Amino acid sequence: MYPASQVNPDIELKGNVSGKRIKLTKAKEETKRFIKTQRMGVVSLSIIVIIILAAICAPLIAPYDPVAQDRAAFMLAPTQAHIMGTDDLGRDIFSRIIYGARVSLLVGMATVVISMVLGTMLGVVSGYFGKAVDMVIQRIMDAIMAIPPLILALFIAALLGPAIKNVIIALTIVNIPHFARITRGEMLRIKEMNYVEASRSAGASAFRIIFKHGLPNMMAPIIVIASLTFGQSIIAEASLSFLGIGTPPPNPSWGLMLSGASSYMENAPWMVLFPGLILSAAVLAFNLLGDSLRDFLDPKLN
């Protein structure tokens, strides 16, 4: 082996470039395989991308202010001017649905990211160290999971008050145990592997083993759970808003729109139909994407 000072930098640079090309080629191959084998996943991903783009470009797409009231346009049926009609306050339903996607995606993304980070950290620590640490963490997870998720979210959201950040806090607490349980089981399996034992014998620290061997080898189930949790968070936010303890009015929210329209189902069915269809399509897309990712990432099915 040559000393570091004698290594040719051109050779090292070529090696890095070659490694990047191999990774890029592998990523392209995996993408092609996903498109070829998971048609439903591709359709679901397309729907999700459309919803995300609509939320990002809401000011450009929405024809009206989502909170502006028009006293001359109360409960109008779908027309060319209002393609999804108007609600009981004369607000354009299409514009409110577009802006409502922002709330749903914000709650879903924040909930998934925070609960995934905290739950994964707790699960990995619990699975690797075991004993008293494992017992304490798992009993806390058991206590959270002993309460039905929606009931617990309702209690926390009602205790904190109606606000988007409080909905995120409530749903995060509810979803942490799901990630913690999955990652704990994976860590228990991974830490018994021969390569982990070899690293431990070579003097590798727990931090190094967890981040070099543990987390990279449990990303597949984490990604699947994250996708499923995203859809569950969207419908949970809608449920809380429907019950009046989620997104506060007049902010547009799919659940809040359904709550306000529940009294006008016979006279103005479009007020329920369009928000309900969009909410169902979004949740179904995330759930189907999670199923497709599970099938794609499971080596037993490949």
Q: In whole angstroms, how far apart are CA 234 and each of 107, 149, 153, 175? A: 7, 14, 13, 13
pLDDT at 1: 44
pLDDT at 49: 94
Per-state percent for the chain, helix, strand, coil, to nearest 5: 75, 0, 25
pLDDT at 302: 56
Mean pLDDT by 10 residues, the chain (302 residues): 50 55 74 85 92 93 90 87 89 93 91 94 91 92 91 90 90 94 91 84 83 86 90 89 84 86 87 92 91 78 55
pLDDT at 20: 63
pLDDT at 19: 58
- Tell me: the pLDDT tens digits for 210-228? 888 888 888 888 988 998 8
Q: Where are the alpha helices (DSSP H) in 191-218?
A: 194-201, 206-209
Instruction: For the full predicted model, state whether its pTM sits above 0.85.
Output: no
Could you give the CA distance from residue 151 to residue 120 in angstroms, rounded to a whole number?
24
Residue boundaries of the structural domains of the chain: 38-62+84-301
Class of domain 38-62+84-301: mainly alpha
pLDDT at 181: 93
Q: Answer whether the bond into residue 250 is a cis peptide, omega within 30°.
A: yes
pLDDT at 18: 60
Q: What are phi and psi of 142, to 5 degrees?
A: -65, -40
Tokens 């709330």 sit on residue: 103
pLDDT at 70: 84
pLDDT at 68: 87
- Tell me: the pLDDT tens digits for 1-30? 445 445 455 554 455 556 566 767 777 887
pLDDT at 11: 52
pLDDT at 293: 86
